[in-house]
Amino acid sequence: MGRGTDRATRYGRRRACAALAVLTATALGVAGCDAAGGGSPAPSAGASKRAKTAPVWDTSPRSVAAVGDSITRGFDACAVLSDCPEVSWATGSSAKVDSLAVRLLGKADAADRSWNYAVTGARMADLTGQVTRAAKRRPELVAVMAGANDACRSSASAMTPVADFRAQFEEAMATLREKLPRAQVYVSSIPDLKRLWSQGRTSPLGKQVWKLGICPSMLGDADSLDAAATSRRNAVRDRVADYNEVLREVCAKDRRCRTDDGAVHAYRFGTDQLSHWDWFHPSVDGQARLAEIAYRAVTAKSS
């Protein structure tokens, strides 16, 4: 009798679970019994809806780390041949810039919860090391602007090959994901270097400074409009476009990464946005424009 009763009881429970599963699946789209046959409460309709609609991207991260090159260091924005991180578009404290970190966190919190690991002169090959150092702070958002120095070489032929650029960025992203699996990543596009040439060459002083060796692949022989010079500049322009496509494609594979959708590259900056020490790096006003673009991208609602 005992064994028969047990079998009947188990059989009755299985039938009850099967019936409950059908009813629950019809009403809520979820199963109501666990695999072992025991009863477990089905999630409420509200909980199920929240799980499906919870956004992956948080528009209000509570800490920011920046990686990249001289642009993110504020180089030549405040004084000649000097970093000026206080005006950095990403983490600067200057009210004239209103950096991404300040806009997201407020000035007081940005001072304690934002960090700048960018290095003047860095190329994409250096990004993995920067990400590794930044990860120690456990930032919720990592802001990336890198790649201009891969195009700004001694000549067009010396530019970083696109395949190498891709492999280096993928390595940096893989390292970041390994160390910060839930961190968000904002990736800026590379500025339009050919527009920089066309704007900066209006300054006689700027052209003299460029002769010291600033981005020769684009800015060398600034007044030359012959076929060779035009071809060289177009090669740099096209390489930057290829780099930006790599940034977009690699970022798109990571559900917690978003780019500026090419906004920095498309921005029609003028001489007011260029440093008047080198007519190449962003001025304080240029840094403020970069901060605006970054903030719009980071806080945009997911589609």
6 pLDDT higher than 90: no
User: For 14-47, how does the pLDDT look when each residue is reduced to its tens digit (9 = 90+)?
Assistant: 444 433 333 333 333 333 323 333 333 444 455 4
Average pLDDT over residues 250-270: 98
97 pLDDT higher than 70: yes
Contact 280, 274 (CB under 8 A): yes
User: For 51-83, how does the pLDDT look when each residue is reduced to its tens digit (9 = 90+)?
Assistant: 444 568 999 999 999 999 999 999 999 999 999
Average pLDDT over residues 279-296: 98
What CA–CA distances, in Å, run from 20 to 6, 25, 49, 60, 203?
Answer: 21, 8, 20, 41, 78
118 pLDDT higher than 50: yes
Average pLDDT over residues 113-118: 98
What is the pTM assigned to this prediction?
Answer: 0.82
Residue extents of the structural domains in the chain: 2-53, 64-299
Predicted confidence at residue 302, as pLDDT, reads 79
Average pLDDT over residues 223-228: 97
Give CA–CA dist 165/147, Å, rounded.
8
Q: Tokens 């599963």 belong to which residue?
A: 21
Predicted confidence at residue 28, as pLDDT, reads 34
Contact 237, 195 (CB under 8 A): no
Label each residue of 48-62 as H, E or C: HHHHHHCCCCCCCCC
282 strand-pairing partners = 274
% of the chain surpassing 90 pLDDT: 81
Average pLDDT over residues 100-115: 98
Task: Give the contacts of 152 (CB within 8 A, at least 6 positions apart).
Answer: 193, 214, 215, 216, 217, 218, 236
pLDDT band for position 244 (50/70/90)?
Answer: very high
Give CA–CA dist 93/110, Å, rounded.
8
Predicted confidence at residue 303, as pLDDT, reads 55
User: For 147-204, how does the pLDDT look when each residue is reduced to its tens digit (9 = 90+)?
Assistant: 999 999 999 999 999 999 999 999 999 999 999 999 999 999 999 999 999 999 999 9
For the chain, the average pLDDT equals 87
Predicted confidence at residue 55, as pLDDT, reads 65
| CATH class of the domain whose range is 64-299 | alpha beta
